[in-house]
Amino acid sequence: MAIYDARKPAERQTLVDDAFGASVPGVSNPLLPSVSIPGGPLSRRLEQARITATHDDLPGVGVTVAYLLKRYPRLSETFILHEMLTLERLGAHLHVYSEMNPAERVTHPDINRLHAPVTYLPPVTAQGFLPLLKAHARLLRQKPRRYLTTLWWAFRRRDPLASLKHFTRAGWLGAELQRAGVQRLHAHFAHGPAATAYYVSQLYDIPFSFTGHAKDIYTTPQEHIAERIHAARFVVTCTEFNVRYLASLGEPETAQKIHRIYHGVDLSRFSPRAEPAPQPDARALSAPPLILAVGRLVEKKGLSYLVEACALLRERGISFRCQIIGGGPLRDSLREQIAQAGLAELITLEPPCPQEELVARYQEAAVVTLPCVELENGDRDGIPNVLVEAMAMGVPVVSTSISGIPELITHQRTGMLVPPRDVESLASALIMLLNKPYLRERLGREGARFVHENFDMTCNTRQLIELFQQGE
């Protein structure tokens, strides 16, 4: 099977070795190290390397792609926004189609940088009935046999109501793509958006591809995923763990379509301090070290186990404070758990915030943790972007040995791994990092090196452009 290796050219490897192999003479908060770099600040040298490695006549020029998303914009899916921004910066032309508008109260300011127009599909309700009806009536007149065959196929699916909804959206979307002259459709997520893209290809002969992430892969019926892989021009996913699972669903020749491209991060934004931070005041020096967790407040993030681990830290006389940043359905239950454990003065629940604010939180943290778990229905994370961002900034991380996380974290080399749902091991790892500044420094430095070698947004997005250009 084809698996892309996200490593950099030799000149970028030399740069990273220079930057992260350097001595670490100072501290930044004072819990995190600053990075001493021969020849100048890290950000300037990385930017120069990025220019050298990526601006080969803007490789995306001539690439026009329609991006199909389930909801846009979503703060928890900022990685998709940054992928699209990088595609545009590399010369690609995009048009975003979203099945729904999430109408979130907090949005990322970078959405204003996206040049691509955004079109919301008509809702599959009475409100969207007329435009949907017109598109389907026109298609039925033009291609009656193809239309009725595809409709019958959708009707016979395991969940016919959901399939018919995707079919209905596809009838309208395909007409819009034809009108715009777009001949590439890329869906993010293997469930609804990829299903809609599949029906677009069946109805209109427009080639499609899709990116699978985590929950969408493991909670969608396997036969549906296999069908979409077979029909797609190519499939991207963000971990080798996912590649192996997806490849197992089809024939060997189908597996050749599956490519691993890690989610990248903007290394100009998420990067260790190039120079020592200003000397903190006495109040900051006396503050207990911060344990930071960022993510949606859902079961698979394992945040209830973090609360239990914090109770053990308190029992063992460890000085700390903990912030959990995010929104979601478990906010009330987590707040109740914190209160019942008598931890309200040590653990705070903070609302979601954009990345600009997260950068400051990462700089303040002694350790970032996300004790992820796999649920009974198969739902799990792939590689949480929060961990990648924290590591890129030189913050040591603690997580669990599930899914693709061990591809990011090598235990006691680039971070700490503990078994899922193991509160004692989680508490022990946190205590070890809080009590050993030299260990925080080493893991932070090695974690940053690894992320800068493998998770550069620009370099990884170039691989996606190459896939879009194949078969032209």
Say if 64-266+457-469 and 282-454 have the same CATH topology.
yes
- Counting residues of the chain whose pLDDT is more than 70, the rounded percentage is 85
Residue pair 235/259 in contact by the 8 Å Cβ criterion: yes
Q: What is the mean pLDDT of residues 353-366?
A: 92
pLDDT tier at 347, thresholds 50, 70, 90:
very high
Do 173 and 196 form a contact (C-beta atoms < 8 A)? yes
pLDDT given for residue 106 in this prediction: 66
Give dist(CA 410, CA 111) in Å, integer: 34
Q: Residue with structure tokens 């493998």? A: 454
CATH of domain 282-454: 3.40.50.2000
User: What pLDDT sits at residue 60?
Assistant: 84
Query: What mean pLDDT do residues 356-380 have?
Result: 95
Q: Can you give the three-state secondary structure of 403-449, one letter per residue?
A: CCHHHHCCECCCEEEECCCCHHHHHHHHHHHHHCHHHHHHHHHHHHH
What is the rounded average pLDDT of the residues 417-423? 98
Work out whether the CA dihedral 440, 297, 238, 58 comes out positive or negative.
Answer: negative
**Looking at the predicted structure, is the pLDDT value of residue 276 above 90?**
no
Q: Is 125 exposed, middle or buried (0-12, 13-18, 19+ CB in 10 A)?
A: exposed
What local confidence, expressed as pLDDT, does residue 33 receive? 39
The DSSP letter of residue 184 is -
Percent of the chain with pLDDT over 90: 76
Residue 57's pLDDT is what? 57
Residue 25, pLDDT above cutoff 80: no
Q: Find the angle CA(287)-CA(397)-CA(44) to the nearest 5 degrees.
A: 90
- Amino acid 18: pLDDT: 42
Q: Tell me the CATH number of domain 64-266+457-469, given options 1.10.760.10, 3.90.550.10, 3.40.50.2000, 3.40.50.12780.
A: 3.40.50.2000
Domain spans of the chain? 14-54, 64-266+457-469, 282-454
Per-residue pLDDT reduced to its tens digit, 319-333: 999 999 999 999 999
| First-to-final CA distance of the chain | 21
Section 80-107 average pLDDT = 91
The closest of 32, 9, 12 to 368, measured between CA atoms, is 32
Checking if the pLDDT of 288 tops 50, the result is yes
Q: What is the pTM of this model?
A: 0.84
The whole-number pLDDT of residue 83 equals 96
What integer pLDDT is reported at residue 17 of this predicted model? 43
Flag whether pLDDT at 370 surpasses 90: yes
Does the structure show a pLDDT above 80 at 56?
Answer: no
Torsion angles phi and psi, residue 212, rounded to 5: -100, 145
